[in-house]
Structure 1
């Protein structure tokens, strides 16, 4: 009888799992940010992590402002900034892999030291009017050593909230925190560079990296367990070997194309109409949409599973970018930018949420850094492409880059969404007494 009861278990699918509520929450509401931040030990890494990630958004704009001031060339400034971004994207996963294996503290301490020294060297060379090759040479270690604090914070949440309904709330909280960083960081760097000294933005970036990185590294009790050696019966895997992670990398490259394409195209558009001052307003509206959607996503008790949510959110994102290239009125462009921003956060949050179920704990920091690196790489490639299109075909042509990037990524996601099913999960339907048949579901 016991065996019969076990084999006749009810159907389990993604929707049912997604709609479940935590114990003690009879109202069916999604656990909110207040409950998330009451997680024991959360504040010990949330606050230092917030401080330590601010420099991430200050680096590229600080480089552009300093190098353009010393060389008089936006092309040179863009090349040095792009070299930093590409280096960051390529080396970030290796940093995550080392953090998974040896612990976050072991990676952060030498990382912040190298980064601070590299930024100091870059500032010195720029002020001495060094040639482009010298600036590019030091830009590589500057980007490669950028501390990946955001992925490390996400890995700490995943370690504490494994299989908890709060994990999606944590992903939403981190998305909002990232967006806030990318709103505050560039403004702070720009203000320092224009009102204090052209190098002040990078000086502040280096100081915050050193202070914030050391403070975050000191919170060693909350860091995930290092998987230095294999556990009994456990096979060490790279996050990149997980098929679902490769699909998510393509998805996040498309999201990066939106960030890079919007930044350059909005700048080109506002300059072409003789109103460069409203560029910050338009991009602020876009970022505000992203932040707002992130806050809302963290408060919703989703009844559909993350795979389906990602497909729907990404389809809406690709659709929202479609009319950008044809808009010539500032109010319409601002409204459309707001809609694009509203569509980004659900895709980002859901993608990060899926990592927790797709990737073993021994490779999660690496997985998060692959996704963060994909956004940075997509952003750098999109900024370059959008700039070239704007120069050759007019300012609105750059808006084709977000459309193309999200459309291609959506096709990849739609065709390979089956790879986003967590290992050993899916639908298990009872087919009579004594046996069950697995059935794949969305």
Structure 2
């Protein structure tokens, strides 16, 4: 297989050129509907369980189980999508998800034992459709040979992710406070089902299934790449920020007597990320993606270092906004890097490992923050974000060499296809 140019191309490609890609809108619109609930599930579970049991610790734990299940099972569904096609995985996944969320709601309102809530949360999280990874895989399929435009596509997708994190929490909180927390989860399941089925129906833009034994080579997991494992570790720290902030902001707002503001405050954090992502995607970067990854992650740690000291909701919202400025650039650069580390037959799986790492970090962050909040109050919950992101930065800095190409010695088999790594100098072109 011919070596592919890295996506660090400096050719200016705007969002307009990207969105003029033939048939792009046929999968982008249903994907947006299906991705919106992603930011509603964890917060919706927290609000439901907190409302029915009175415990933030239990609420964070149940949300964590859903996130862990998603983190563990998501990459496997991504791998199945690479092998057998996206629609073959999506349709049963969204059906299972709707049923599992319905069971969780029924158990919570029935006052069922705590362990049954965990039992229902596991399939609810495991069946979350990996729409973001699948959309990125479709962009790779559509933009093969256009690395600069692909970089813009990754920026666009990260902005879309952040848009869902702006709208999702606000929508979940608004429904929960105005109607009932269970209705917020009903809306999450309905959007997932309808959007997922519509996205699955757009088969013409999906990558062709690689099959179980493409090219006659042993099919290895995308996680076999040390660079992918390192990026997954970095995204684990990133996810801990999401988890800690979801629970801590909710508790902080309630402690301040304004529970309905938790969604807008968290949405402002995501809005900062979205704005930064839009601007990031417009810049024709000349520095290597590895350097940008370290710089963006360091800014994230700096932003997290102030959250625990905020005295009120206004100052917390402002600090969250600035903290969010580092999120999307970190995500964009991470997805840019991982796309160069695996073969075409493993793209969806590789993207899903990063998404899954975020989910696992979210689980750990929400659990730790919930326990600290129950014991010591909401402010201490924010320290989990600082610790998680700090550990992620340490890992990226100390093992950054794993993100570099290894020349001809870097041939790997991932997803059933051999891929040759270009020399390090190629990553510095432009």
TM-score tier, shorter chain, comes to 0.7 to 0.9
Match of residue 416 from structure 2: none
Match of residue 149 from structure 1: 131
CA distance in 2, matches of 1:348, 1:400: 22
Q: CA deviation at 1:308?
A: 1.2
Match of residue 322 from structure 2: 339
Match of residue 44 from structure 2: 62
Secondary structure of 1:94's partner?
helix
Match of residue 349 from structure 2: 366
CA distance in 2, matches of 1:439, 1:209: 41
CA distance in 1, matches of 2:135, 2:110: 37
1:112-168 CA-to-partner distances (Å, cap 9, x unmatched) read 121122222223333333222222222211111111111111111111123421111
CA 1:230 to 1:150, structure 2 compared with 1: closer, same or farther past 3 Å?
same
Q: Which of the numbers 289, 298, 302 marks the counterpart of 2:281?
A: 298
Match of residue 188 from structure 1: 171
CA 1:278 to 1:378, structure 2 compared with 1: closer, same or farther past 3 Å?
same
**Structure with the greater alpha carbon radius of gyration:** 1
CA RMSD of aligned residues (A): 2.5
CA distance in 1, matches of 2:382, 2:108: 32
Q: Does 2:149 match 1:166? A: yes
- What residue ranges of structure 1 are gaps of 5+ in the alignment? 1-12, 22-29, 427-437
1:322-357 CA-to-partner distances (Å, cap 9, x unmatched) read 233334355543333222111111111100111221
Match of residue 20 from structure 1: 10
Q: Does 2:373 match 1:390? A: yes
CA 1:19 to 1:137, structure 2 compared with 1: closer, same or farther past 3 Å?
closer
- What residue ranges of structure 2 are gaps of 5+ in the alignment? 410-422
CA distance in 1, matches of 2:46, 2:248: 17
Q: Does 2:298 match 1:315? A: yes
Q: Which of the numbers 93, 111, 116 marks the counterpart of 2:75?
A: 93
Q: CA deviation at 1:297?
A: 0.9
Secondary structure of 1:18's partner?
coil
Aligned partners of 2:169 and 2:264 also within 8 Å: no
1:68-105 CA-to-partner distances (Å, cap 9, x unmatched) read 34444444433322221211111111111111111111
CA 1:275 to 1:193, structure 2 compared with 1: closer, same or farther past 3 Å?
closer
Match of residue 77 from structure 1: 59
CA distance in 2, matches of 1:332, 1:124: 38
| Greater alpha carbon shift after TM alignment, 368-377 vs 385-394 | 385-394
Q: Which of the numbers 191, 195, 218 marks the counterpart of 1:212?
A: 195
CA distance in 1, matches of 2:303, 2:280: 18
Aligned partners of 1:100 and 1:362 also within 8 Å: yes
Q: CA deviation at 1:58?
A: 2.0
Secondary structure of 2:98's partner?
helix
Q: CA deviation at 1:371?
A: 0.7
CA distance in 1, matches of 2:333, 2:162: 15
| Greater alpha carbon shift after TM alignment, 135-144 vs 88-97 | 135-144
Q: CA deviation at 1:315?
A: 1.5
CA distance in 2, matches of 1:221, 1:423: 35
CA distance in 1, matches of 2:84, 2:50: 39
Q: Does 2:357 match 1:356? A: no
1:251-280 CA-to-partner distances (Å, cap 9, x unmatched) read 101111211222233334444455545444
CA distance in 2, matches of 1:198, 1:323: 31
Match of residue 248 from structure 1: 231
Aligned residues: 410
Q: Does 2:107 match 1:125? A: yes
CA distance in 2, matches of 1:263, 1:102: 35
CA distance in 1, matches of 2:399, 2:150: 24
Secondary structure of 2:37's partner?
helix
CA distance in 1, matches of 2:82, 2:243: 29
Q: Which of the numbers 196, 199, 209 marks the counterpart of 2:182?
A: 199
Match of residue 21 from structure 2: 39
TM-score by length of 1: 0.86
| Greater alpha carbon shift after TM alignment, 266-275 vs 169-178 | 266-275
